[in-house]
Structure 1
Amino acid sequence: MTITIKPPSKDEYTFLQKVYENDSRKKVRKRANIILYCINGLSFIDIAQKLYCSIKTVYKWINIWNKKGIGSIVKWRQTTSWINQVKRRNALEKLITVSPKSLSFSFNSWSLVKLSKFFSKLLDYPISPATLSRDLKILGLSYRRVQDSFILKPVDYDIKRACLRFIERYCPPSWRLIYIDEKGPIYSMRYSGNTWSFNQQYRDARQPTRRKVNFLGGYDLKVKKLSMIPMEGNASTYFCDAFDLIRLEFLTTDYTKLLIVLDNARIHTSREILKYLNEDK
């Protein structure tokens, strides 16, 4: 059996790779892998041997790809229309702000009903307010209205698993979360260009009654440096020696992890930008 595969667009090829690497469904990963192998020039026999399937199966999915495209291969709620999906995600990102006070996600002027309608359009399948509310509770996230903002806030101690599941189901790829040593609270985080920007609060472990101090920081992918600057006053008494060794783990939607170890952190003046050496482990 011979057949020529229809070449994918750049976006489709990138998305196929992400599906193969990240999708939790084995069958979907296998379909994406068949298409990727064929695009890269492997024969049907080689593909069948590598993936432990029949040549007929390989032929079937190549034929479906040629006729119907990526949506029929992946059958994922976020792939009905790739171009529209990107546009919707970009639109959603513009509506999202990070609240520096609550350190949680805010949806400006959005109620739970409006949010469920928007997610329905974003994911290309209906989501009722009750379903969204249930998912938020299952994932350990609470929601509330504060003036004109819709706030999602983690309430479960098992933050890592809950937020990964929430990101996988609802969030655009630019959303990021951060936590500290599985002991501290979750912190909001965003990615813009080549800089990770986030707002955090640290408390001196030896003096827990003292007020928290806000820090504005970012991780620059180009120079691989984490920078932080205190937003109010001289924060040396709150940060110095309180955390001799802090490990930050960045959770991303493609499940890659970036470990940064902050060793002997020091703050001398409120305007000084701190830079820490990145140590991969």
Structure 2
Amino acid sequence: MKLNDIEERGLVLLGCGKMGSAMLAGWLAGGLSPSAVWVIDPKPSDWLQGRGVHLNEEVPASPAVVLVAVKPQMMDDALPQAADFGGGKTLFVSIAAGTSLARFERALGPQTPIVRAMPNTPAAVGRGITATIGNGVAGEADLALAERLLGAVGQTVRLESEDQMDAITAVSGSGPAYVFHLIETLAAAGAAEGLSPELALALARATVGGAGQLAEDAEEDPGQLRVNVTSPNGTTQAALEVLMDEEAGFPALLRRAVHAAAERSRELGRG
């Protein structure tokens, strides 16, 4: 399946919240015709209503792609609406957290090509990263098309097994919250050392954002970047001796945090 199949047969977007809107904006900016997109959303935003897409209208009989972007708790209502498209002619792409390929196959039929994806919130600014995995009948062309659609909001990576999705959720799915908390706590620590809260927050935001960009762009790995800015017996080394403590520092805390998130993801998947 190719991108021009979408122009000919249409793309149905089930749910258009922040993530769905970010993807739609990327598709339209990339040249996809609004007339090729059908959006089903019970509470469309003002932004969505001005995009020129088919909004809550009757959808095509055999769309090229159905992208499921509803919240997990709405899945029981959403899947029956899409059941008629199951069976093999339509590619399903899901960005719904905690919804397995097996659950989609039960609702849509085992011959339905399905790609499960886990994006993260920086997708809202085109800086996300999305992990993908297809079911047994999703071919290379299906995966490539899904990745091209998801690439509108950032990078994509392909998994070897659906079992990896819980770890992906814990690292990149939940990861932005860890970084936001780092900014909070770094700013609070700066204020405790005498900076105004406003100045401390501005410094923390810019420092984390800039360091993240440097880590993404640099050829060196993050460990080497850390070494590059750590002078022997200097201020950075003094701080890192605290942060890198194996029992009370970042290594232990993040292992526990990521494991807790992965375990919770597994529990939700079983539910």
TM-score, length-scaled by structure 2: 0.28
Higher helix share: 2
**Which is higher, the Rg of structure 1 or of structure 2?**
1
Q: Which of structures 1 and 2 has the larger relative contact order (alpha carbons within 8 angstroms, sep 6+)?
A: 2
